Amino acid sequence: MRLFLAIDFPDELKVRIARNIEILKGYIPKGIKWVDRKNLHVTFKFLGDVNERILEDLNAPIEGITGKYSPFTISFKDAEIVPNPERPRLIWYDMKDDTESASKLFKGVDLALYDMGFSKEKRPLALHTTLGRVKFARKIEWEKISSNLIPLEEIVQCKELTLFMSRLTPSGPIYSILKTFPLKKTDKDGGNI
């Protein structure tokens, strides 16, 4: 089973992000594998191929970490081409977390999964949501194109991590939610419950 942990988006936000994908498609009609609206998310940690027998064993370590961290927010920065418009590989929205809460949670989850035998991440968390993958290299006039996108000023409330299974098919991946791991509950005044 191919698994990853992610921050999922509410459907209304997926619709707004997908509008910008449609704008991009108008300017770059070929050579990009665009992400389906229902699959938009922020990848938190890719677990890779996991034996189904250890799936239940994942729950306690992840719950143990997520239960220690309070909900936080992330917001959208600019859409960008990675690594650059001359050698594009990905088109994504860079995201920011002003409180570093996501990075702290990421380090905790990474350590807990490392203790279970998963590979430790070599790089720090880079919050982003992928819009498309470039299938063949070519220069893209990104400044002209990106100026036509609708700004995303939404603040994303991160109250849980979602464990997804990804099944690869010729027409693209199919994601299934296996479990959600809530972050620590707080009362309406911000205190812990």
Q: Is 128 a catalytic residue?
A: yes
How many Å separate Cα 26 from the centre of its chain?
Answer: 24
- Report pTM: 0.90
CA-CA distance, 33 to 173, in Å (whole number)?
A: 11
Whether residue 188 is predicted with pLDDT greater than 70 in this model: the reply is no
Catalytic residue among 4, 7, 20, 41: 41
Catalytic residue among 42, 128, 134, 156: 128
Whether residue 156 is predicted with pLDDT greater than 80 in this model: the reply is yes
pLDDT over 90 percentage in the chain: 79
Q: What domains can be seen in the chain, in order of their start residue?
A: 2-182 (3.90.1140.10)
Predicted confidence band of residue 114 (pLDDT cuts 50, 70, 90): very high
CA-CA distance, 2 to 90, in Å (whole number)?
A: 21
CA-CA distance, 8 to 22, in Å (whole number)?
A: 20
Instruction: Provide mean pLDDT across the span 99-110.
Output: 95
CA-CA distance, 88 to 81, in Å (whole number)?
A: 6
* Residues 6+ positions from 103 with CB-CB distance below 8 Å: 97, 124, 125
CA-CA distance, 54 to 57, in Å (whole number)?
A: 5
Q: Is 106 a catalytic residue?
A: no
